[in-house]
Structure 1
Amino acid sequence: MKGQEWYQADEVAEEYDTKRFSRGGRLIDRREKQALLDAIGDLEGKAVLEIACGTGRFTVMLAERGANIIGLDISKAMLQQGRHKAQAAGVADHIEFMRGDAARLPFPDNHFDIVFAMRFFHLADTPASFLSEMRRVSKEIVFFDTFNAPSARSVYNWLLPMGSRLYTEDEVSALFRETDLSLEHVEHDFLLPYGFYRSIPNGIASTARRIDTSLGDTPLGDLASVSYWKAKIN
């Protein structure tokens, strides 16, 4: 995985949410959460696994909606941030945070109703192996996002601490074939890259987002920087 040492540093975990999801980044946070909720539907009593759960922003949200969820991550510092969030939200009884390797998931086949990963596949050196493991332990839904090529993200991708693997639709389709998954639904979004939104105040970001969304309904939507993929088990 790219940037493992950087990602696991204590100071990165402590500043992660503030740097990414304050200012205009709040808009990104809301959109990502809504994309996930739209894809997975009713959560009451569902067994859910989140790969690369980070500071637990999705993990806690799903527990609040009735899921019994495990959040798996490689960073001890990120997991500790997640535990603090779960305690503060009063849902610690519905969440287990585990340190582990997404390429070798410590669970039996068909163990979870839903398995998902957000902000993960852009770091994957062998994406098929990770997706295959997600498919193995899920009995219903696999959900993940990708950063896309061509898109505005390619302009500044090389500047990022961990870089990003950028995907074409054909590459993701090939991943589905390799892992025996079928595409159920996909959404493409964000012509303007995440870095732009994080750099401006929330009020200005809202105006930019309205323009962005309008352009997404035109042929320019083919240049969206992010895609949300919902797959079903064959």
Structure 2
Amino acid sequence: MSNLPSSVSPDQFWDNRYINSRVDLERFWHQECENSNKIPDNREFKEIVDFFGDLNGARVLDLGCGEGRTSLFLAAHGANVTAVDISAVAVDRMNTFCRDCEIKNIQAMQSSALDLASLGQFDFVVGFMILHHIEPFEEFAKVLADTLKSGGKAFFYENNAFSDLLMWFREHIVGRLWIPKGGDDDEFPLLPAEVNLFRQYLNVDVIYPRMVFVQLFSQYILKGRLLTLSLEIDKWLFKLKFVRKYSYRQYVMLEKRKDEK
């Protein structure tokens, strides 16, 4: 994370992003979610089902719900979903879509990740690319632990700041010349030290599902040239277990011990 000043607040940044969004929630819901026996062709969704187990009737928090696809997936599998996001635009869009499609088991609301106490406890918490936006992170680690029920689990799909080389490129190259920067000004990839803060309260497992490294140079520096080759190199690097921690993608999987409230 970063404490650099920003000309646009994070909520304004994401409001603008979602106002211009072209995500087709209706197509996703009708083609991918209405059949609850079908899991969309998304490896993270499959990982969620494997890690959480039966979602039917479970109380699930979608933290940083954004466009709402994860919430829709969870709801289609029987979960009672509370979807929160800092963006009022995202929340309004989610509630409008659920009302129009008569989806009763999703409740979306505007909230920061540090203001979850009033929502009660959850069986499961899920988030996609949200942790690296949150600060102060040490405070959030305790908030998340309190949000989970005894034995509850959390799954986060995140970026990873372990590679000094990738972080150098991010700080000195991305956002300059022809290379776009996708996120808001305050964000910084998730640090290993931040992941370790969870260990005070929760069991922690970090998995690197695939190698995302060389392909970033193709995408950002070479504008997609040599992408096929870079993907093949990443696949080869992934075979080396000691290299995987340098991947820019990770799963942070947490579990609250059953003897803790």
Q: TM class by shorter-chain length?
A: 0.7 to 0.9
Gaps of 5+ in 2: 24-40, 176-180
Q: Which residue number corresponds to residue 37 of structure 2?
A: none
Structure 1 position 181 matched with structure 2 position 191: no
Contact 1:147 1:165 in 2 (8 A): no
Q: Indicate the percent of aligned positions where both proteins have the same amino acid.
A: 23
Q: Give the root-mean-square deviation of aligned CA atoms.
A: 3.3
Structure 1 position 196 matched with structure 2 position 242: no
User: In the TM superposition, what whole-angstrom CA distance separates every residue of 1:133-176 from its partner, at most 9, and x where no partner exists?
Assistant: 12112111122233222336522355234143234434412x12
Q: CA deviation at 1:91?
A: 6.2
Structure 1 position 162 matched with structure 2 position 173: no
Q: Which residue number corresponds to residue 126 of structure 1?
A: 136
Matched residue pairs, number? 215
User: In the TM superposition, what whole-angstrom CA distance separates every residue of 1:84-122 from its partner, at most 9, and x where no partner exists?
Assistant: 55457x46211001111220214365x211012221111
Structure 1 position 222 matched with structure 2 position 222: no
Greater C-alpha Rg: 2
Letter in 1 for 2:44: E
Matched position secondary structure for 1:166: coil
Change (3 A) 1:206 1:95: farther
Change (3 A) 1:50 1:39: same
Q: Which residue number corresponds to residue 153 of structure 2?
A: 141
Matched position secondary structure for 2:20: helix
Structure 1 position 95 matched with structure 2 position 99: no
Matched position secondary structure for 1:150: coil
Matched position secondary structure for 1:102: coil
Distance of 2:111 and 2:141 partners within structure 1: 15
Q: How high is the TM-score relative to the length of structure 1?
A: 0.75
Letter in 1 for 2:64: A
The counterpart of 2:20, out of the listed 5, 15, 18, is 15
Distance of 1:119 and 1:221 partners within structure 2: 19
Distance of 2:91 and 2:71 partners within structure 1: 11
Q: Which residue number corresponds to residue 71 of structure 1?
A: 83
Contact 1:47 1:113 in 2 (8 A): yes
Matched position secondary structure for 2:118: coil
Say which structure, 1 or 2, has more relative contact order (CA 8 Å, 6+ apart): 1
How do 1:51-62 residues align onto structure 2 when only pairs under 5 Å count? 51-62=63-74
Distance of 1:63 and 1:206 partners within structure 2: 36
The counterpart of 2:125, out of the listed 115, 120, 129, is 115
Change (3 A) 1:128 1:59: same
Distance of 1:170 and 1:76 partners within structure 2: 31
Distance of 1:16 and 1:220 partners within structure 2: 35
- In proportion to residue count, which structure has more helix? 1
Distance of 2:194 and 2:96 partners within structure 1: 38
Gaps of 5+ in 1: 19-28
Matched position secondary structure for 2:42: helix
**Once superposed, which parts of structure 1, at least 4 consecutive aligned residues long, lie more than 4 Å away?**
204-211
Change (3 A) 1:74 1:168: closer
Letter in 1 for 2:18: A
